[in-house]
Amino acid sequence: MTQQVQFTKAVGNANEINELLRRYGVKFGIYKNGTFNEQFFPFDPIPRVITAEDFQSMEKGLAQRVNALNEFLFDIYHEKKIVRDGIIPEDFIYISKGYLAECEGITPKNNVYSHISGIDLVQAKDGEWYILEDNLRIPSGASYPLIARDLTRIAAPQAFEENPIIDNRGYAELLKETMENVNCGGARAILTPGRYNAAYFEHSYLAELTDSVLVQNDELFVEDNVLYHHTYSGGKSRIGVLYRRIADEYLDPLTFLPESLIGIPNLMEAYRSGNVGIINAPGNGVADDKGIYYFVPKMIKYYLGEEPILKNAPTYLPFYEEDMKYVMAHLDKLVIKDVAEAGGYGVVFGRDLTKEKLEEFRQTIIAEPRRFIAQEVIDFLDLPIIEGNKTVMRKADLRVFVLSGAETKVWASGLTRFSRNPDSFVVNSSQGGGFKDTWVLSR
């Protein structure tokens, strides 16, 4: 705690940094009631500190988890051994919205499916870390700790002289390596749906950091199953790897949703032919489905023959009769998540419901058991944040980015998000949360 206080002093004035963030245009967008609003992502100056010892075990555990998830994705889109061997019931794979039959048989370069994984963790009061969810589609947020660190460095350079903080600027190099590992010959590109996207700031920032072209779909085309970029002079230049920041369903109107106006026709043909790398691989949604989460520790044992280093939050699947009984008996104490929702939507705490609502919800779970998972509410560690002139305690989580290139590497940084509402456990930026820098100590 004394260490924390010392950091607070060192980092100084939140207003100054938030002012800098505003000037840099660090924003994210939210759709509410059909209109688009850009908001500043409020920054809190007290960093979260992760000790070297904690980080080392987290690093091993996360690399292990992501390696198993990559094996799982390869297996599901090829032989499906894990289903055949009865580890995961078939239903959980094929009812999942994230499973895309169109991706069957495609082998991405070097077998990497989840190039950039955003794994969300929380630390319980007893110090134990728990995995909350895996984000293997297009996890966002890496730019925030990067830019916050830059600005903190400007506002409080002495903090970095006095403390053994691992420099997080290596992300650019790490991301570049990860892209190059699956480059099929050509330029690197980041595909954005445009400036009305929630994470547009991040798209442009990452393009700048990695020397990638920032493109929208109408600048790209596929000819002879090769992806090209229209150059300003009327020519074409080849794209070898595409870090796309649009969802699978919109990626190629000739393979997925025909009505998509933000996709690239025949991109999937180019991808299937091995002429372009797509980051992350289409179809990854089957592995970060909230229903599949339950099975990740089993995957680690199955594919790697290892014991999971990091724990899942205790989870129940109403799909299994025994779990259903438990969920029904303890509904008022559990947190229930709709497997089809993301971004903090579809999360219900049993204790917040009135008697009638609880009963109604009970019936919904009985009617659609596959749609929900139930978890014990982890009493996670509060972190101090500055509110006005006071320091208050709020719930926070941590998104760690794991990059799978030739090797799986865990970025020694991360996005710590906190809830500004003292009664809330939901920290998602789309639910009005804030963020702070995450310092990983080197000793």
Partner 1 sequence: MKRVNFFYATKLTFDDYVHDHSFALRIIPLETDTQHILSCSLNIAPYISTQQTVDAFGNNVTAGYMRDDHRFLDFEIKGSAQVDHTKHRTDYMPCYLYQSQYTKPDHALKVFYDSIKKKCTGTAADKAEYICNILSKTVEYGKGSTDTTTTAEQAFALKKGVCQDFSHILISLLRMEGIAARYIAGLAFCDGETHSWVEYWTGDHWEGIDPANNCSVNDDYIVISQGRDFRDCAIDRGVMFGKYTKQLQLVRSELT
Note the residues at the interface with partner 1 (CB under 8 A): 80, 83, 90, 93-95, 99, 101-106, 221-225, 253-255, 258, 265-266, 269, 272-273
Nearer to partner 1 (CB atom), residue 278 or residue 313: 278
CB-CB contact of 8 with 391 (8 Å): yes
Give the nearest distance from C-beta 249 to partner 1 in angstroms: 11
Smallest distance, partner 1 to C-beta of residue 322, A: 24
Pick 105 or 127: Cβ nearer partner 1: 105
Helix (H) / strand (E) element for 381: namely none
Using the minimum distance from each CB to partner 1, give the nearer residue, 36 or 94. Answer: 94
Compute the least distance from the CB of residue 221 to partner 1, in Å: 6
* Alpha carbons 210 and 279: distance in angstroms, whole number: 14
Report which of 331, 328, 415 is spatially closest to residue 377, judged by C-alpha positions. Answer: 331
Q: Which two tokens stand for residue 408?
A: 């799986």
CB of 105 closer than 8 Å to CB of 362: no
| Minimum CB distance to partner 1 smaller for 289 or for 437 | 289
Closest CB 242 distance from partner 1, rounded Å: 16
**Cβ closer to partner 1: 42 or 89?**
89
Cα–Cα distance, 346 to 362 (Å, whole number): 15
Spatial separation of the C-alpha atoms in residues 265 and 279, rounded to whole Å:
17
Beta strand pairing call for 236-244 and 187-191: parallel
DSSP state of 314: P
In the structure encoding, which two tokens stand for residue 179, read together? 């892209």
By C-beta, is 223 or 360 nearer to partner 1? 223
Residues 6 and 159 sit within 8 Å (Cβ to Cβ): no
Cα 266 to chain centroid, rounded: 27
What is the DSSP annotation of 186-238? SEEEEE---TTSTTHHHHHHHHHHTT-EEE-GGGEEEETTEEEEE-TTS-EEE
Of 95 and 365, which CB lies nearer to partner 1 in the complex structure? Answer: 95
CB of 336 to partner 1, least distance (A): 24
Which of 77/144 has CB closer to partner 1?
Answer: 77
Comparing CB distances to partner 1, the nearer of 123 and 266 is: 266
Q: Closest CB to partner 1 among 40 and 94?
A: 94
- Neighbouring CB atoms inside 10 A of 372's CB total 23
Least separation in angstroms between CB 257 and partner 1: 10
Beta bridge pairs of residue 400: 119
Q: CA-CA-CA-CA torsion for 62, 66, 72, 75, nearest 10 degrees? A: -140
Helix H, strand E, coil C: the string for 126-180 is CCCEEEEEEECCCCCCCHHHHHHHHHHHHHCHHHHHHCCECCCCCHHHHHHHHHH
- For residue 40, CA distances in Å to 30, 161, 207 come to 10, 29, 21
Shortest distance (Å) from residue 42 CB to partner 1? 41
Q: Which is nearer to partner 1, 267 or 403 (CB)?
A: 267
Which residues, including other chains, have CB under 8 Å from residue 300's CB and lie 6 or more apart? Answer: 64, 65, 68, 306, 307, 308
